[in-house]
């Protein structure tokens, strides 16, 4: 049955591509599609993109290759995309931080250099503490922050990143003053919690399975409890109105023709809604983030304004 579904999806996609080929002077895609991203091989983004790429191949009928290009908080991968022809055969995958990182001094690109293609996945933020440690609950952790301002260390990915911004949002809501400790990845920060080097880490719920034996998530930023971890409360349940998602999505070269963008959207949408990818979302405790191009563009614009405000409050922007 599943093979028939895949076959029908491929046939439907082929019909769509053929019907609009004349508008582009040729059929698209005319060769392999490459997806680049700024994470390391094996990171949550890399795993997600590879699962999606295998479904895109079925729909598009061409190879879809995933190539990690870590470095510069995604800016090396961005530079690669900008150096390719704007023909839709190269896609850049990134996440929530694109509108904050690219506003920092020294950024080599602007987020407006790229066209938003498709928001794929929502991964709630999660606050980790050491299992059987001094902070078994969010209340215990916040109480320590109030008693010892600036002495409770919270780690996570990068500086000016979504992990840091989410931590600062919590601090503002709860009236506390943690100290932020940047790491090269959320996983590294969680490892530091396990080692006792820091008191807490802000990362994502999708990686909880790797660390559950030695850490616990005291709260998650989803609006409702995550089905795979029903014992983990939301921040809202615990009296902190913090509902926020780390999204992952695709971008194309800023000069890509609209007709190609529309075709790519159809390919990705069919892949995201495939049975295999939906199974992956459930297994990874993440949610589908699909929205229209216009909605994605509007989200980015609003997010950029909010990020600018937060970065200024941190003294990272004038």
Tokens matching residue 56: 């895109």
Give which of 29, 23, 20 is closest to 88, Cα–Cα: 29
CATH superfamily of domain region 123-220: Periplasmic binding protein-like II (3.40.190.10)
Q: With beta carbons less than 8 A apart as the criterion, state whether 106 and 144 touch.
A: no
β-strand 153-157 against 200-204: which pairing, if any?
parallel
Each of the 318 residues of the chain gets a pLDDT tens digit; together they read 444 444 444 444 444 444 433 333 468 999 999 999 998 888 889 999 999 999 999 999 999 999 999 988 889 999 999 999 999 999 999 999 999 999 999 999 999 999 999 999 999 999 999 999 999 999 999 999 999 999 999 999 888 889 999 999 999 999 999 999 999 888 899 999 999 999 999 999 999 999 999 999 999 999 999 999 999 999 999 999 999 999 999 999 999 999 999 999 999 999 999 999 999 999 998 999 999 999 999 999 999 999 998 888 878 888
**What local confidence, expressed as pLDDT, does residue 26 receive?**
62
**What local confidence, expressed as pLDDT, does residue 296 receive?**
97
- The SS3 call for residue 271 is helix
- Establish whether domains 2-122+246-313 and 123-220 are of one fold: yes
How many beta carbons lie within 10 A of that of residue 138, not counting itself? 22
How many beta carbons lie within 10 A of that of residue 4, not counting itself? 8
Annotated domain spans of the chain: 2-122+246-313, 123-220
Give which of 174, 189, 186, 187 is closest to 141, Cα–Cα: 174
CA gap 203, 207 in Å, rounded: 8
Provide the H-helix boundaries in the chain. Answer: 2-19, 44-60, 75-82, 98-101, 138-147, 162-174, 186-195, 208-211, 258-272, 275-283, 293-313
Tokens matching residue 6: 């895949």
How many beta carbons lie within 10 A of that of residue 101, not counting itself? 26
Q: Which CATH architecture has domain 2-122+246-313?
A: 3-Layer(aba) Sandwich (3.40)
Give which of 135, 110, 138, 144 is closest to 125, Cα–Cα: 138
CA gap 314, 161 in Å, rounded: 12
How many beta carbons lie within 10 A of that of residue 241, not counting itself? 8
């Amino acid at each position: 049955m599943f093979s028939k579904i895949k076959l029908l999806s491929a046939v439907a996609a082929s019909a769509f591509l053929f019907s609009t080929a004349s508008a582009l002077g040729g059929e698209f895609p005319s060769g392999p599609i490459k997806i680049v991203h700024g994470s390391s091989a094996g990171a949550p983004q890399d795993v997600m993109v590879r699962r999606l790429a295998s479904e895109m191949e079925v729909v598009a009928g061409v190879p879809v290759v995933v190539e990690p290009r870590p470095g510069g908080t995604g800016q090396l991968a961005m530079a690669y995309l900008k150096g390719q022809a704007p023909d839709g055969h190269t896609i850049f995958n990134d996440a929530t931080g694109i509108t904050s990182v690219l506003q920092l001094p020294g950024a080599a690109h602007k987020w407006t250099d790229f066209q938003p293609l498709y928001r794929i996945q929502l991964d709630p933020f999660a606050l980790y503490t050491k299992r059987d440690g001094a902070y078994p609950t969010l209340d215990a952790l916040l109480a320590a922050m109030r008693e010892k301002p600036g002495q409770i260390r919270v780690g996570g990915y990068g500086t000016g990143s979504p992990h840091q911004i989410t931590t600062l949002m919590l601090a503002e809501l709860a009236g506390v003053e943690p100290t932020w400790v940047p790491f090269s990845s959320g996983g590294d920060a969680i490892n530091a919690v396990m080692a006792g080097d820091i008191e807490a880490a802000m990362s994502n719920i999708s990686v909880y399975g790797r660390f559950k034996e030695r850490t616990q998530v005291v709260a998650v930023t989803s609006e409702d409890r995550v089905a795979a971890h029903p014992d983990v409360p939301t921040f809202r349940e615990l009296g902190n109105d913090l509902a926020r998602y780390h999204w992952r999505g695709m971008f194309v070269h800023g000069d890509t023709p609209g007709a190609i963008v529309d075709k790519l959207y159809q390919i990705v949408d069919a892949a995201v809604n495939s049975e295999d990818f939906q199974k992956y979302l459930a297994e990874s405790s993440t949610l589908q983030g699909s929205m229209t191009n216009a909605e994605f563009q509007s989200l980015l614009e609003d997010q950029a304004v909010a990020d600018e405000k937060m970065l200024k409050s941190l003294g990272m922007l004038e």
